[in-house]
Structure 1
Amino acid sequence: MLQQKLQNWLNQFKQYFFTYSNGFYHLPYSSKSPQDLVESLANYPFMKHNRVKQSVYANTPFCSGGFNYQKLEEGLWVIYSKMRYKTNVAFDLIYDNPQELKIEDEGYYMLSLNNVTTRVVADMKICEKQLCFANYSWTFFKPKERNCDVNFKGANNKYITLYFSEEWLQKNLVQNSLFSEAGLNDFIASDTPYIAWPLDEEEEVLKNFGLFDEVMNMNNESTHIDFLQFKLYTLNLIFDFLKICKKQEVIKRHSVIDYNDKFSINKVENYLIGNLFDKFPGIDFLAEKFKISESKLKSDFKQFFGKPIYKYFQEKQMILAKELIIENKLLIKEISYKFGYENTSKFSTAFKKHHGVLPSELQKQELEVVL
C-alpha cells in the first residue's frame, strides 16, 4: 500500500523534485541561504508552514515530523529538525548556478549536532521492545559544499544546525583564541570541504538536544521564546564544538569520506543492525556486497562511526542481548546460538566485557526484581 502511494505521488512530482538512486529517494533543497532552505522545503507537497511559530510540519509518504527555525541575528540562523522516516530518504543540498549568485550570496557555514538512529528489525516473538540504536556526531560544512543527509526507513533523526555567514564567522569566531587552538583556522584555510566527527553517547554535549527542545519550543509548551537564553545556548553549543575539536585533535585526525562512499558506509551500518541475529558476516563479504575495497571500508567505517566494524557490531549485539535477557523469553544458550557464538562460554565472556556482568548474573538479578 505504501509503495503504491509513493509511486503514484512520485509519478506526479518527480519531474520537478525527486530522483531515486542508491536505494534512496533523493529530495533536493536550496542552500543559498537558511531562508531559501526553509522556503524550498516548505514548498514541498504535504508541507505545512507556520510563519508565526516559524515551523514547518510534514506528513508525506516519505516522512513525518518537521523543523523549527529562528534567525538569531544578522548572519546567524538555527534550524532544529525532528523527522521519522517511512522509507529511505536522502536530502541533497543544491545551489543556484554560481554565475547567477549575487555578491551577498556567499553561502553559509553549517555546524550541526546530529542524532541518527538505525532501527533493529526483530521478530516480536523474540523481542517485544522496538530498539533503535543512536549514533551521534558533529558535522561542519563550508559554504557551497555538497552535502547529503542519509536517513533509513524507521529512523527517528534529530539535527540541530547552526547556519552562519562568512562575515559572522570572521566577526565572532575567528578572533577567538579557542577557534585557533582547536585548529579551525587551518580547516577554513584548507581545501577540506567538511568535518564529520563521531561522538560517544556519554558526551556532555548531547544535553543540547534537551536544551534546544525547550528553548525552541519544539513541543509547543510555551507562548514565547526566550531569545537571550536561546543565544546563550547557541554560543555554548559552538564552544562545545570548539572544545571537542581541541581536546580530541579533530582537525589532525579527521579524513574526508567521498560522497558516494558515505552512502556505502551508511548502508553497511544499516545492514549490520538488520542482521544482529547472526554471526558477523566478515569484512570481505561486506566489501563485496557494498562495492567498496576492504581497506577503505575499514578506515571509513571507523572514521564515520568511531569504532572498528567488528567491535561496533559486537557492541550492538550485546545491547540487544541484554534486552532479550531482561525480557526473559529465551535461554542464554538460545541467545548465544542466535548471535552465532560457538558456545555459551564465549558469548558470556563477550557479554561481561561489555556490560560488566555475566548474562546468568543479570538474569538472576531480573528474576529477583520480579519476585
Structure 2
Amino acid sequence: MGKNQQRAVQDFFYLDEIWKGSNSNNTCTEKSLHNEVGDFKTIYIHESKSVAIREYHSLYRKDCKLASTMGESSYIEMSFFLHSHTIKDNIAGQPREYLPYHGYVYFVPKGAAIKVVLEKNKNYRHLDMYLELGHFTEWIATHSFVRKFVNDVTAGRTAHLFPKGIPICPEIANLLLEIKSSELDEISREYYIKGKIFLLLSLLFQKAQSSTSPTPKGSVVFRQDEQDKLQRIADLLEKNLDKFYSIEFLAKEYALNEFKLKKGFKQFYGMGIFEYAVKLKMEQARKLITDNNHTFKEVAYLLGYSAPSSFSVAFKRATGLSPLQYRKGLTEKHKSHAMS
C-alpha cells in the first residue's frame, strides 16, 4: 500500500476541518475519494456556527491504520455507528472500542494522538454530530455524570460521556433519519435540528440511566450474526431504490426467519421494512425533483414504481404534496430568493 495513497485518506478525513468543510448555505453536499486504499465518502448534512453533522462511508481494500494529531478542538463529537462491526482506536494512549449500532459522546483535546485500526473488506458507516459545549451544560443540574464530563472538557482532558456506548434504539434511529431528511431552510432548519439533538441527548441520558434494567417486554434478543444480516438488508434497500423486495425473498436470501426479520427490523430501525424502503425512496424522490433533470415518469421508474400514478400517491402520502405541487413550490421559492 503506497504511503502517499494512505496519506491521502488521512488528509481526506483529518484535514477536513469542522465548520469549514462544506458550503455555508446548509444544503447537503458530499465529497468522495477512490484509490488503492479503498472508497470513501463524506456527506455534509448540516453546518452552522454551532452544529455540524456529517455522514461517513468507508470501504478499505486492505487492513489499515490511520494516525493523526488532533488540531484545534472546540467541539464535542456525538457518533452513531451504523455498521455491523467493532472499531478500535487509541486516543492519547487510551485504547477504546466502539460497538456496532451504538452511539457515543466524547471530546478529544488539541494535541492528542489518535490511532484508528480499520479492517479490509468491511463497510464502515457512521453519522457524526459536532456540538458546542453549551449543548451539555444545561443538563448538569439534572444529570450528575454530565458535570464530570463538562469539567473534563473545560480542563482540556480526553472525555467519554458513555464509555460503553448506548444501543441505537428505534426512537434514536427515527431521530437520525428525521435529521438526515430535513429540508427546511436556513433558520428554520437550524432550530429544527437543534430540537432533534436535544431529544437525542435526552434519549441517550435516559438509556444510560436505565442500562441495568431488564430487557423491555416484547423485545427479541438477536445474535451478532443476525444483527449483521439486518444491517445488510438495510444496506440493500438503500443501494437498490429502483426495486421492491418482499419479506419472503429477503428471509430466504439472508437465511433469517420471517418473524425475526420483521420483528428485528422494526426493533433496530423503528419501522417496518416496507415503510423504511419507501422513506428512503421519498428522500431520493425529493432530491431528483429538486435537481429538475428528470420527468415525474422517469423519477417513478428510477424508484421502482411501475406507474407514475403509484409514485404520485406515495409521494403525496409522504410529503402532503403531489410531485407537481412540490416542484412548483421549489420554483416559487427560487423566484422569491432571486427577487430579495
TM-score bracket relative to the smaller structure: 0.3 to 0.5
TM-score (norm 2): 0.47
TM-score (norm 1): 0.44
Q: Which has the larger radius of gyration?
A: 1
